[in-house]
Amino acid sequence: MAMAMNAGGGSGKRRRGKRSAPMADLNMIPFIDVMLVLLVIFMVAAPLLTTGVPVDLPKTGASQLNIEQKPLAVTIDDKGVIKLQEKEVRLEALAAEITAIAKQGFDERIYVRGSAQVEYGKVAAVMGVLQKAGYTKIGLIHAPATTK
Protein backbone atom coordinates (compact mmCIF):
# COMPACT_ATOMS: atom_id res chain seq x y z
CA MET A 1 0.00 0.00 0.00
CA ALA A 2 2.76 2.34 -0.58
CA MET A 3 2.12 5.36 -2.69
CA ALA A 4 4.61 6.81 -5.04
CA MET A 5 5.10 10.49 -4.38
CA ASN A 6 7.01 12.98 -6.33
CA ALA A 7 9.59 15.05 -4.40
CA GLY A 8 8.08 18.22 -5.77
CA GLY A 9 4.67 17.35 -4.52
CA GLY A 10 3.05 17.78 -7.89
CA SER A 11 2.95 16.11 -11.21
CA GLY A 12 6.66 16.63 -11.78
CA LYS A 13 6.22 19.15 -14.57
CA ARG A 14 6.91 22.83 -14.28
CA ARG A 15 4.08 25.10 -14.99
CA ARG A 16 4.45 27.36 -17.88
CA GLY A 17 2.12 30.10 -18.43
CA LYS A 18 1.56 33.45 -16.82
CA ARG A 19 4.69 35.24 -15.65
CA SER A 20 4.37 37.50 -12.67
CA ALA A 21 4.25 41.17 -13.57
CA PRO A 22 6.84 43.54 -12.03
CA MET A 23 5.70 45.46 -8.96
CA ALA A 24 4.85 49.06 -9.69
CA ASP A 25 4.73 50.37 -6.10
CA LEU A 26 7.72 51.68 -4.15
CA ASN A 27 9.18 49.91 -1.16
CA MET A 28 8.92 52.57 1.54
CA ILE A 29 10.60 50.69 4.41
CA PRO A 30 14.25 51.58 3.51
CA PHE A 31 13.21 55.20 2.98
CA ILE A 32 11.53 55.34 6.40
CA ASP A 33 14.57 53.71 8.05
CA VAL A 34 16.91 56.33 6.59
CA MET A 35 14.62 59.17 7.64
CA LEU A 36 14.41 57.87 11.22
CA VAL A 37 18.20 57.59 11.45
CA LEU A 38 18.58 61.16 10.17
CA LEU A 39 15.98 62.35 12.67
CA VAL A 40 17.90 60.78 15.55
CA ILE A 41 21.19 62.26 14.34
CA PHE A 42 19.71 65.75 14.11
CA MET A 43 18.04 65.42 17.51
CA VAL A 44 21.40 64.57 19.09
CA ALA A 45 23.35 67.22 17.19
CA ALA A 46 20.94 70.16 17.63
CA PRO A 47 21.78 70.93 21.29
CA LEU A 48 25.48 70.90 20.43
CA LEU A 49 25.02 73.64 17.85
CA THR A 50 23.53 76.17 20.24
CA THR A 51 26.17 77.86 22.38
CA GLY A 52 25.90 81.11 24.32
CA VAL A 53 29.50 82.35 24.42
CA PRO A 54 31.96 80.63 22.08
CA VAL A 55 35.16 79.74 23.93
CA ASP A 56 38.18 77.60 23.23
CA LEU A 57 38.68 75.27 26.18
CA PRO A 58 42.24 73.96 26.33
CA LYS A 59 42.81 70.25 26.84
CA THR A 60 44.12 69.20 30.22
CA GLY A 61 46.93 67.03 28.91
CA ALA A 62 48.06 69.48 26.22
CA SER A 63 51.62 70.67 26.06
CA GLN A 64 52.55 74.31 26.45
CA LEU A 65 51.57 76.57 23.57
CA ASN A 66 54.35 77.64 21.24
CA ILE A 67 53.55 81.29 20.47
CA GLU A 68 55.76 84.11 19.26
CA GLN A 69 54.08 86.99 21.04
CA LYS A 70 52.71 87.27 24.54
CA PRO A 71 48.92 86.72 24.47
CA LEU A 72 46.49 89.07 26.14
CA ALA A 73 45.53 87.71 29.53
CA VAL A 74 42.64 88.82 31.73
CA THR A 75 43.06 87.57 35.30
CA ILE A 76 40.43 87.48 38.03
CA ASP A 77 42.04 86.96 41.44
CA ASP A 78 40.59 85.52 44.67
CA LYS A 79 39.02 88.86 45.65
CA GLY A 80 37.35 89.40 42.26
CA VAL A 81 39.81 92.06 41.08
CA ILE A 82 40.16 92.11 37.28
CA LYS A 83 43.63 92.62 35.81
CA LEU A 84 44.55 93.05 32.15
CA GLN A 85 48.09 91.73 31.83
CA GLU A 86 49.36 93.13 35.18
CA LYS A 87 47.28 96.31 35.22
CA GLU A 88 44.11 96.50 37.33
CA VAL A 89 40.99 97.52 35.37
CA ARG A 90 37.30 97.93 36.08
CA LEU A 91 34.80 95.67 34.31
CA GLU A 92 33.22 98.65 32.53
CA ALA A 93 36.61 99.77 31.11
CA LEU A 94 37.84 96.28 30.13
CA ALA A 95 36.67 96.40 26.49
CA ALA A 96 38.22 99.83 25.86
CA GLU A 97 41.53 98.80 27.48
CA ILE A 98 41.80 95.61 25.42
CA THR A 99 40.91 97.43 22.21
CA ALA A 100 43.70 99.93 22.92
CA ILE A 101 46.41 97.25 23.25
CA ALA A 102 45.17 94.57 20.81
CA LYS A 103 47.58 94.42 17.88
CA GLN A 104 45.45 92.10 15.72
CA GLY A 105 42.13 93.83 16.38
CA PHE A 106 39.16 91.56 17.00
CA ASP A 107 41.18 88.50 15.88
CA GLU A 108 43.36 88.81 18.97
CA ARG A 109 43.37 85.72 21.20
CA ILE A 110 42.41 86.55 24.79
CA TYR A 111 42.97 84.19 27.70
CA VAL A 112 40.79 84.45 30.80
CA ARG A 113 42.38 83.16 34.01
CA GLY A 114 39.93 82.87 36.88
CA SER A 115 40.88 81.82 40.39
CA ALA A 116 39.21 78.68 41.74
CA GLN A 117 37.79 80.75 44.62
CA VAL A 118 36.15 83.44 42.46
CA GLU A 119 32.46 82.98 41.70
CA TYR A 120 31.48 81.78 38.25
CA GLY A 121 29.29 84.84 37.63
CA LYS A 122 32.35 87.10 37.69
CA VAL A 123 34.14 84.99 35.06
CA ALA A 124 30.98 84.89 32.93
CA ALA A 125 30.62 88.69 33.21
CA VAL A 126 34.20 89.21 31.97
CA MET A 127 33.65 86.84 29.07
CA GLY A 128 30.36 88.57 28.22
CA VAL A 129 32.05 91.97 28.09
CA LEU A 130 34.76 90.57 25.79
CA GLN A 131 32.25 88.95 23.47
CA LYS A 132 30.06 92.06 23.37
CA ALA A 133 33.12 94.09 22.40
CA GLY A 134 33.57 91.82 19.34
CA TYR A 135 36.30 89.40 20.42
CA THR A 136 35.56 85.81 19.46
CA LYS A 137 38.81 84.00 20.30
CA ILE A 138 38.42 83.72 24.05
CA GLY A 139 40.13 80.89 25.93
CA LEU A 140 39.92 79.71 29.51
CA ILE A 141 43.19 78.90 31.28
CA HIS A 142 43.28 76.24 33.97
CA ALA A 143 45.84 74.12 35.75
CA PRO A 144 46.28 70.55 34.54
CA ALA A 145 44.53 67.90 36.60
CA THR A 146 46.75 66.01 38.98
CA THR A 147 46.71 62.23 38.85
CA LYS A 148 47.05 60.24 42.03
- For the stretch 64-108, pLDDT in tens is 555 566 678 888 887 888 888 878 888 888 888 888 887 777 778
Domain boundaries, the chain: 72-141
Beta strands in 1-148 (DSSP E): 72-76, 82-84, 87-89, 110-114, 138-141
Confidence of residue 124 (pLDDT cuts 50, 70, 90): confident
pLDDT of residue 97: 84
Task: List alpha helices for the chain, DSSP H.
Answer: 29-49, 94-101, 120-133
CA 140 – CA 110 distance, rounded (Å):
9
Q: How far is CA 120 from the centre of its chain?
A: 21
**pLDDT bracket for residue 39 (50, 70, 90):** very high
The class of domain 72-141 in CATH terms is: alpha beta
What is the percent of the chain where pLDDT is above 90? 7
Sign of the CA dihedral with 143 first, then 101, 90, and 124 last = negative
Write down the pLDDT at residue 53: 40
- Mean pLDDT confidence for 120-148: 79
CA 145 – CA 60 distance, rounded (Å): 7
pTM over the 0.85 mark: no
